[in-house]
């Protein structure tokens, strides 16, 4: 196995990880977002009040006490704390949808760059 074959195999692996991996993660995130939205709709049909599921309670379970208290009452980096707190307090279905689309765009963009790079290498090798 020569160096070109190893390089080609590495590009194949990177393309698989970024292309198919991004599609898988984005699809999973969108399915969770749809599930949360259906749950929100079911609760609305049951109670008549729209009470959306947010990410803050879930994320707060995994953060340290200091980080949660900084998010709730920041003394420094106040704008960043507001941005994070705002993102965590919007609907989980919206958060998951936006994050999934971002993962998909970045992953497919990287995979496309890998394909372009590989095609340019193949053109250079054939010359």
- Structural domain boundaries in the chain: 3-53+91-126
Write down the pLDDT at residue 127. Answer: 67
- What's the pTM value of the predicted model, to 2 decimals? 0.73
* 119 token code pair: 């095609």
Write down the pLDDT at residue 36. Answer: 93
**What are the pLDDT tens digits along the chain (127 aa)?**
677 777 778 888 888 888 888 889 999 999 999 999 999 999 999 999 998 889 898 888 998 999 999 999 999 999 999 999 998 999 999 999 999 999 999 988 888 888 888 788 777 777 6
Q: State residue 44 phi and psi, 5-degree precision.
A: -65, -45
Write down the pLDDT at residue 29. Answer: 93
Write down the pLDDT at residue 83. Answer: 93
């Amino acid at each position: 196995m020569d160096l070109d074959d190893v390089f080609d195999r590495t590009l194949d692996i990177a393309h698989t990880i970024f292309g198919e991996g991004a599609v898988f993660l984005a699809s999973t995130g969108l399915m969770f977002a749809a599930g949360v939205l259906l749950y929100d709709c079911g609760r609305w049909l049951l109670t008549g009040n729209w009470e959306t599921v947010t990410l803050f309670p879930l994320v707060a379970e995994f953060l340290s006490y200091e980080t949660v208290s900084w998010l709730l009452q920041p003394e420094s980096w106040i704008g960043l704390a507001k941005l994070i707190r705002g993102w965590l307090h919007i609907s989980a279905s919206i958060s998951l949808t936006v994050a999934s689309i971002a993962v998909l765009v970045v992953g497919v963009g990287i995979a496309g760059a890998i394909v372009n790079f590989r095609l340019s290498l193949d053109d250079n090798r054939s010359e």
